[in-house]
Structure 1
Amino acid sequence: MSAADLIQPQAADAEAPRQRGLLSLLLIANSTMLAVYMGVGSVLLPTQIESVDPVHKVTILGIVGGVSAIFATAFNPIAGALSDRSGKRNPWILGGAFLSCAGLIFLGTVRTALLLGIGWCLVQATMNSYQAAVTALVPDRVPLARRGTASALVGLALPVGGTLGVLIASRTSGSPSTGYLVLGVMLSAAAASLSFFFRDVPRERIVPKVSRQAKVAAFLSALSHHDFRWAFIGRALLVLGYFSVVGYQLYILDDHITLPKGMHPTDAMAILTPVSMLAMAVSTIVGGLLSDRWNRRKVFVGVSAALAGLVTVIPVISPTWPGMLAFSILNGLAFGCFMAVDTALVTLVLPKAEDAARDMGVLNIANAGPQIVAPFVASAVVTVAGGYGPLFLTGGALALLGALAILPIRSVR
């Protein structure tokens, strides 16, 4: 059942304040989720791996990142489908957050590459169960006419959460256990607040009596729809290009960029991330609101993906601190607009409203799946090509292909 079915015309005004409250809590829930992803993935985990084996840090980070992303890819759509079948979101939100908190605390206690890998796999699995349920709340409860605005507000989670996560991680990199604990508690508090103030909207339980083969086919059936498939491909290519570079940013700052005297890579991260995320916040708001006002999605998504690809040449031409600042600002503008408007676009090409969480979970394979490939691609490019310049160019080429993949979408302007 879609949000449009749940809200009768005469009740629209009465529901408006409640929707605004929902969007605020969704912003907090998504922000803490991305604080975990960015804080751990960009700072705490690479720092721990470097302390364990500084010589093989690139390879180890690639393996840990790739294997853990397999868990993310598997658990997101599975949890989404199970959430659809149960007719409830809150148990998955709470369970995923609390189990993730336990996994983060475990990560703060380990000191070997193997245990770091196991711990991060567990966190990825539980975080993606949480993410699948939270993501489904937009198509569940927000009317079609407000999807762009809602997606823009929720999209602010990346700049807000990313900045917060990296700042916390950078300040606690000398004591990772503290950073993990703070991030885990924040996530749990956000999940508890969302579940307490917004109880589950009654939804029809879907328990189909079909064969296992039919279940698998139904699970991926959204990809048989032309527009959904191209939206999936475009998202996957851009995310692959983005995380191929961002996942190694700490090492890029350490080994490729000439930093000002006395500045350490973690200090640089604490500056670059807020700068990039501020740019991302601006483009998220502007892109989402303008896409609603003009009722246009494809042009915003395509242009922002193309910009994300083009700006990767800056750190190649100028591997300096000013060059990295310029790249971070422009890349933030491009990625923020893309994610805000692309999320709105995707909600408009979902095949069936009653399968929203399942299909959004399938789409999230385009978020998590490329993160399986990205660490291996990045590690191979850096090792074989002998530097981070080719890595930037590879990420840029993938983003440009993502821009081209938006063109075949027909049902959305």
Structure 2
Amino acid sequence: MNVPPPTTVDGDGPKAPPIATVTTPFGRVMVAMISSYMGGVIALSVPVSVLLTLKLVEMVGQDGVPLALGVITGCGAATGFFVNPIAGRISDRTQLRFGRRRTWILAGGLAGACALSAIWLTTEVWQIVVLWCLVEIFIGFQMSVTGALMVDQVPAAKRGSISGVLGLIVATGPLLGLAIITPLSGAAQWIAIAALAAIGAAIAILLLRESPLANAPSPITARQLLSSFWVSPRRHPAFAYAWMVKLFVGAVGAAGAYNGVFLLQRIGTSTEELAATILGISFIFVGVGGTACLLAGIVSDRLRRQKPFVMMGGVLGAGGLVVLAFADALPAVYLSTAISAVGAGIFLSVDTALSSRMLPRAEDIGKDLGVMSLAGTIPASAIPFIAPLLLAIGGFTLLYLLLAVLGLIGGLLVLRLPELGKEGDPRWAQLTVTR
């Protein structure tokens, strides 16, 4: 059982609520986080990688897909931009006996599943935009609150390992989803993805145990709610640099939204072959990236080093995009996938563990993790809006090379962060509570 740290006073408002007592054994927490993450990753990744593209081909034809897909995914990601810190703030202060994290994991998973199921019934692009924004809101709530469990209930010494496992889920989730939908068609594909999202959330809340907050939280003002989107970079420089690392390296992953369009327009893949081709690429990504993710997470914990892994992840991710920028056949796409997979696996294996060390306040874990997650949301929000312009100017080559430069910058920015065990350095202001 963890002992909650002393409650502190926020300079901009009333005393923050005390941390709830944790009673879930580590093994159950890990399985619960895996289940919730798996459902959320499948719900968000599979539609973007293939289902939305196929739906839009029917609606607007191949030539209209890039713009329509950019509007849909851009609006959805922009909506998600506002969800994560608010979700963290709300869950931090939720006092229901069902649990401050369990409540929102279940609600987000079930509501997201309903919105996903409804997308198949749409007949206009604007309808997909609305529903996809709802998916981003609901699933964003679920995954943001799940991420808070890393600090709530996972001992610091074990966060590298579980971060590696969760990174593997990010890689294997799309593969599992694609494998399930490939033999299906039409509405059955959307219903299957929705069911996986709901089941993942349900399993998680059955395994988790939480105690309600000891005392009722003070009422939150509009100013405090808006402050959910801000952590001072001057007072907390380590948090700010970790945020920028996540932002720039996250730009590499944002390229995945256009994989289907790339295969259709440059490689010449047919719509009938698209799902199977992406599934094959996903097998490579998971096989290579998953292995790298697990090994890097374990090695990081043993060496007690995280910065070299983050740097290597950013550099290799950028390298994979450079290869893809000049690819004109599937073998080159496969090579790009393998390189990017190693980079993504290494980065994902330690990213969550590294970010969790940079949180400023123990009382605002959920909120601050939400702010941190904004760094991953911004590329997914902005790039779909600017990608059609970049494609018109320089095609996929310009788009992928620009994203590669951003990934390289992110990998280098990690040099500004303290290494594991160096958090006491007075240059850095961050969470130092040990669990």
1:240–1:373 CA contact under 8 A, matched in 2: no
Match of 1:293 in 2: 302
Match of 1:230 in 2: 241
1:27–1:156 CA contact under 8 A, matched in 2: no
The sequence identity of aligned pairs, in percent, is 23
Provide the rounded CA distance (Å) in 2 between the counterparts of 1:114 and 1:214: 33
Match of 2:358 in 1: 349
Match of 1:39 in 2: 46
Match of 1:104 in 2: 116
Question: Gaps (5+ residues) in structure 2?
Answer: 6-21, 423-435
Match of 2:432 in 1: none
2:163–2:297 CA contact under 8 A, matched in 1: yes
Provide the rounded CA distance (Å) in 2 between the counterparts of 1:29 and 1:17: 16
Match of 2:13 in 1: none
Question: What code does the residue aligned with 2:189 have?
Answer: G
Match of 1:320 in 2: 329
1:189 and 2:187 matched = no
Give secondary structure in 2 for the equivalent of 1:247.
helix
- The C-alpha deviation readout for 1:43-86, integer Å capped at 9, x for no partner, is 11111112111222111111111111111111121111000011
- The C-alpha deviation readout for 1:135-172, integer Å capped at 9, x for no partner, is 11111000111110111122221122121123334443
- The C-alpha deviation readout for 1:304-343, integer Å capped at 9, x for no partner, is 1111112222133442111100111111111121022111
1:242–1:399 CA contact under 8 A, matched in 2: no
1:84–1:205 CA contact under 8 A, matched in 2: no
Provide the rounded CA distance (Å) in 1 between the counterparts of 2:289 and 2:302: 20
Match of 1:10 in 2: none
Provide the rounded CA distance (Å) in 1 between the counterparts of 2:397 and 2:376: 24
Provide the rounded CA distance (Å) in 2 between the counterparts of 1:266 and 1:192: 28
1:159 and 2:133 matched = no
Give secondary structure in 2 for the equivalent of 1:301.
helix
1:150 and 2:162 matched = yes
1:67 and 2:75 matched = yes
Deviates more, 1:362-371 or 1:94-103: 362-371
Q: CA deviation at 1:203?
A: 3.7
- The C-alpha deviation readout for 1:215-245, integer Å capped at 9, x for no partner, is 53365126451011111111111112321x2
Question: What code does the residue aligned with 2:27 have?
Answer: R
Question: What code does the residue aligned with 1:191 have?
Answer: A
Pairing 1:8-407 to 2, within 5 Å after superposition: 18-54=25-61, 55-87=63-95, 88-172=100-184, 174-175=185-186, 177-204=187-214, 207-208=217-218, 212-217=222-227, 219-221=229-231, 223-224=233-234, 225-243=236-254, 245-257=255-267, 264-385=273-394, 387-407=395-415
Question: Gaps (5+ residues) in structure 1?
Answer: 8-14
Provide the rounded CA distance (Å) in 1 between the counterparts of 2:331 and 2:49: 21
Residues 136 and 331 of structure 1: CA distance in aligned 2, closer, same or farther (over 3 Å): same
Q: TM-score, normalised by structure 2?
A: 0.86
Question: What code does the residue aligned with 1:72 have?
Answer: G
Residues 180 and 359 of structure 1: CA distance in aligned 2, closer, same or farther (over 3 Å): same
Pairs aligned (count): 399
Question: What code does the residue aligned with 2:83 have?
Answer: F
Provide the rounded CA distance (Å) in 2 between the counterparts of 1:219 and 1:208: 19
Q: CA deviation at 1:205?
A: 5.1
Aligned CA RMSD, in angstroms, stands at 2.3
Deviates more, 1:17-26 or 1:278-287: 17-26
Provide the rounded CA distance (Å) in 2 between the counterparts of 1:82 and 1:262: 42
Question: What code does the residue aligned with 1:266 have?
Answer: A
Residues 390 and 219 of structure 1: CA distance in aligned 2, closer, same or farther (over 3 Å): closer
Provide the rounded CA distance (Å) in 1 between the counterparts of 2:384 and 2:134: 18
Q: CA deviation at 1:284?
A: 1.1
1:34–1:165 CA contact under 8 A, matched in 2: no
Provide the rounded CA distance (Å) in 2 between the counterparts of 1:149 and 1:203: 28
Residues 318 and 368 of structure 1: CA distance in aligned 2, closer, same or farther (over 3 Å): closer
Provide the rounded CA distance (Å) in 2 between the counterparts of 1:359 and 1:262: 42
Task: Please identify which structure carries the higher helix content.
Answer: 1
Q: CA deviation at 1:266?
A: 2.3
Question: What code does the residue aligned with 1:5 have?
Answer: V
1:39–1:168 CA contact under 8 A, matched in 2: no
Provide the rounded CA distance (Å) in 2 between the counterparts of 1:352 and 1:267: 46
Q: TM-score, normalised by structure 1?
A: 0.91
Residues 326 and 232 of structure 1: CA distance in aligned 2, closer, same or farther (over 3 Å): same
Provide the rounded CA distance (Å) in 1 between the counterparts of 2:120 and 2:66: 21
Provide the rounded CA distance (Å) in 1 between the counterparts of 2:146 and 2:403: 29
